[in-house]
Amino acid sequence: QEIVKQLFRQMDDIFIKSLESVQKIIINDKHCFELYGFDLMIDNHLKPWIIEVNASPSLTASSPTDYDLKFGLLEDVLHVIDLEGRLTGEEKRIGGFDLLWNDGPVSADEIALYCGQPVSYSANSYLGCYNDREEHLKHLFK
């Protein structure tokens, strides 16, 4: 179980450090956004390796499960965009997205509330937690 926690921490580090490394050249315009797709490979020792980062990941579905995943992703993108102005700007998570703006990491205490278990490390995301995105969205937009 510890090796799986370590895997999620390493994956989280890959996402954060990759984005931080190009932070100065990413377009910073509140009127637009980009969606990045990370391709990772996990070796037989459960170590993640970054293969590539796609600035325009494919949203074509190849199976019913893939369709459900990508439909949820697009729905969550619309929630993050917040065209209806329902968000406060203080949210740390919206649907399946961990929000990383303002350089503010999500604290381990907040993660424990959503994971339903204590977290033994300081993390920047809910990676590895069960994500009931429908329930979270109902709570967020009540």
pLDDT in tens, the chain (142 residues): 788 888 988 888 888 888 888 888 887 777 788 888 999 999 999 999 999 999 888 899 999 999 998 998 888 888 888 888 888 877 777 777 776 655 555 555 555 555 555 554 455 566 656 667 777 777 777 7
Cα-based distances in Å from 142 to 31, 110, 135: 26, 20, 11
Measured CA to CA, the distance from residue 73 to residue 131 in angstroms comes to 13
pLDDT at residue number 130: 63
Measured CA to CA, the distance from residue 53 to residue 3 in angstroms comes to 25
pTM of the model: 0.69
pLDDT at residue number 60: 93
CB 139 within 8 A of CB 15: no
| Residue in the block written with tokens 């999620």 | 8
Three-state SS for 120?
A: coil
pLDDT at residue number 67: 94
